[in-house]
Amino acid sequence: MSQTEYDLCIIGGGAAGLVAAAGGATLGAKVVLVEKHKMGGDCLHYGCIPSKSLLHAAKVAQTLRTADSVGLTAHTPEIDLAKVMERIAAVIKTIEPHDSPERFRSLGVEVISGSGTFTTPESFVVNGKEIRARHFVIATGSRPAIPAIPGIEKVPYLTNEQIFDLREPVPSLTIIGGGPIGLEMAQAFVRLGSKVTVVQRGDQLLPREDADLAAIIAKRLDDEGVELLTGHTPMGVDGQKGDIRLTVRNHQGIERTIQSTHLLLAAGRNANIENLGLERAGVTVEKGRILLDQRLRTSNRRIFAAGDVAGGQFTHMAEHHAGVVLRNTLFRLPAKIEQRVIPWATFTDPELARVGLSETEAKAANIDHRVYTFPLAEIDRARTDDIHEGMAKIITTPKGRLLGAAIAGANAGELIHEYVLAIAKGMKAADLSGVIHIYPSLAQINRRVADARLKEGLTPTAKKWIGRIFRLRG
């Protein structure tokens, strides 16, 4: 068994692992990257890239279908799902070279294909090669959670890892899970001609979001024909390919059976930590998760974790984790992960994006706060673009400092970044009110909702004193 010394050994070639490997090599570190399957990880092959490509195709189909809303002749598109999926595969191939082993080897990273395991707290073995490094980074990502439904192991179900391999028509689709993945796929497939049913155990879709914002997304899905079964628990499933029957029960104990040709599981994620020999490495695991501090260190201080396996959830957080790890390992700086200003978005149409505290979280934590909202339909650009739904919401302290913001509406994933910067820099709503926003643009909603904070202070008494002081005649 050979033995080599490295500055960094990175286990996993997803977003976190690739950013850490490229950054480390660029800074002059000796880096080895171990990947057992596909470079690029879940985001490139099964997540962000294919799902957004599918949503784009579905939106084009919906635009044709609803063209009469702007005075054009509507057209019912002919859907060839195989062609749609082939286009998605082509998009992935255009990005693959950026994440390829060849590119990383050109950066000076040693890339090893294979599964490995820790044999001691200081060594990792892959393909018979013992790797010793100053620091190790576990970036093995996550996989779809398979809910414990009686009969699930006997039926041909899909997860995000198989759904983009489909080439046959999907007449009907049942989705278990009402989170971002489930709702994005529900809208995509209903727009591409499938009959779609979403089953959610809880009473609210998108349970991490405020109910009023989640309701905007739910209404659009309902309007487009998605059957939304909230408060329903899967009780059992049986059938075969093309004929799957899922039995669900609501809170009143009433059962019904949903029949569909395809079943998609979108009910959460599990960290990929099996068979890594973490116990031999002295890495503590609790409830299926690696125990980490705010510097992403495990109980073995030479071993770090980053990305989904560290609870990162989003590709942009995986990239952030990689930067934190590099500062800790190569520069020995006590860098900590950002926990306050973390943006995310659900890319349905309309989108829902958020950063900072939600109204629900502020209430639960008994934080003194104020809430201001503004409807997107009152923005002139929304009227020109035939946008009738959506809203912006900001959460502030009593003195107006921004604590959180959320937008449900067209391009919310882009519009939210003004708030990301504002909250990160400790700005007030008045700071956004004082900034010129281009007219006509959807971004004007960010100023208009901030203006609501200023108008609140313009009470009759305040107006009276302003009139007296400045001798106004109105």
- Split at pLDDT 50, 70, 90, the class of 456 is confident
For 97, residues 6+ apart whose C-beta sits below 8 A from its C-beta are 103
User: Residue 467 above 70 pLDDT?
Assistant: no
Q: Given pLDDT bands bounded at 50, 70 and 90, which one contains residue 462?
A: low
Q: Residue 455 has what pLDDT?
A: 81
pLDDT of the residue at 296:
98
CB-based contact 236:204 (threshold 8 Å): no
- Is the predicted pLDDT of residue 420 greater than 80, yes or no? yes
| Phi, psi values for residue 401, rounded to 5° | -70, 135
Tell me which amino acid residue 41 is: G
Q: What pLDDT digit, counting tens, does each position of 15-37 carry?
A: 999 999 999 999 999 999 999 98
Q: String of b and e for 7-16 (b: at least 16 CB within 10 Å)?
A: bbbbbbbbbb
In contact, 84 and 192? CB cutoff 8 Å:
yes
Can you give the pLDDT at residue 461? 65
Asked if residue 121 lies in contact with residue 300, where contact means CB atoms within 8 angstroms, the answer is: yes
Measured over the CA atoms of residue 419, residue 425, residue 429 and residue 431, the dihedral's sign is negative
Q: Give me the DSSP letters along 130-174.
A: EEEEEEEEE---EEE-----TTGGGS--B-TTTGGG--S--SEEE
pLDDT of residue 1: 53
- Average pLDDT of every residue of the chain: 95
pLDDT above 90 (res 2): no
Alpha helices in 37-100 (DSSP H): 41-45, 48-65, 81-95
Q: What is the pLDDT of residues 61-86, one digit of tens each?
A: 999 999 999 999 999 999 999 999 99
Class of domain 152-267: alpha beta
Q: Which residues contact 462 (CB under 8 A, 6 or more apart)?
A: none
Is the pLDDT reported for residue 239 higher than 90?
yes
pLDDT of residue 453: 87
User: Distance between CA 65 and CA 53 in Å, rounded?
Assistant: 19
From the number of C-beta atoms within 10 Å of its C-beta (0-12, 13-18, 19+), residue 93 rates as exposed
Express each pLDDT in 257-274 by its tens digit.
999 999 999 999 999 999
State the span(s) of the chain assigned CATH 3.50.50.60.
2-39+100-144+270-329, 152-267
Question: pLDDT digits over 287-308, tens only?
Answer: 999 999 999 999 999 999 999 9
C-alpha closest to that of 303 among 123, 427, 125:
123
CATH match for 344-456 among 3.30.70.270, 3.30.390.30, 1.10.3720.10, 3.30.43.10: 3.30.390.30
CA-CA distance, 7 to 23, in Å (whole number)?
12
Domain with CATH 3.30.390.30 in the chain: 344-456
Nearest-Å Rg of the Cα atoms of the chain is: 25
Q: What pLDDT was estimated at residue 442?
A: 97
pLDDT-derived band at 454, boundaries 50, 70, 90: confident
The answer to whether the beta carbons of residues 240 and 157 sit under 8 Å apart is: no
State residue 312's pLDDT score.
80
Question: Mean per-residue pLDDT for 178-198?
Answer: 98
pLDDT at 319 over 90: yes
User: What's this model's pTM, rounded to 2 decimal places?
Assistant: 0.94
pLDDT band at residue 3 using 50, 70 and 90 as cut-offs: low
pLDDT tens for each residue of 142-184: 999 999 999 999 999 999 999 999 999 999 999 999 999 999 9
Asked whether the predicted pLDDT for residue 459 surpasses 60, the reply is no
Which pLDDT belongs to residue 110? 97
CA distance 183 to 347: 9
The pLDDT value recorded for residue 457 is: 65
The more confident residue out of 312 and 231 is: 231
Give DSSP secondary structure letters for 364-423: HTT---EEEEEEGGGSHHHHHTT----EEEEEE-TT-BEEEEEEEETTHHHHTHHHHHHH
Look at the block and give the residue holding tokens 């709702």. Answer: 183
Which is it for strands 129-138 and 142-144: parallel, antiparallel or unpaired?
unpaired
pLDDT for 463 beyond 60: no
104 pLDDT more than 90: yes
**Residue 472's pLDDT is what?**
74
HSE, side-chain direction, 13 A CA sphere, residue 268: 11
Q: How far apart (Å, rounded) are the C-alpha atoms in residues 87 and 91? A: 6
pLDDT over 70 percentage in the chain: 96
Q: What is 2-39+100-144+270-329's CATH number?
A: 3.50.50.60
pLDDT value at 374 more than 80:
yes
* 277 in Cβ contact with 119 (< 8 Å): yes
Pairwise CA distance, residues 282 & 105, whole Å: 31
CA dihedral 192, 194, 199, 204 (to 10 degrees): 40
- How far is residue 425 from each of residues 135, 245, 341, 375, 376, measured CA to CA in Å? 33, 52, 10, 26, 25
Q: Is the predicted pLDDT of residue 460 greater than 70, yes or no?
A: no
- pLDDT band with cut points at 50, 70 and 90 for residue 313: confident
Exposure on the CB side of residue 44, measured as CA atoms within 13 A: 20
- Structure letter (DSSP) for residue 308: G
The SS3 of residue 335 is coil
- Start-to-end CA distance of the chain, whole Å, equals 89
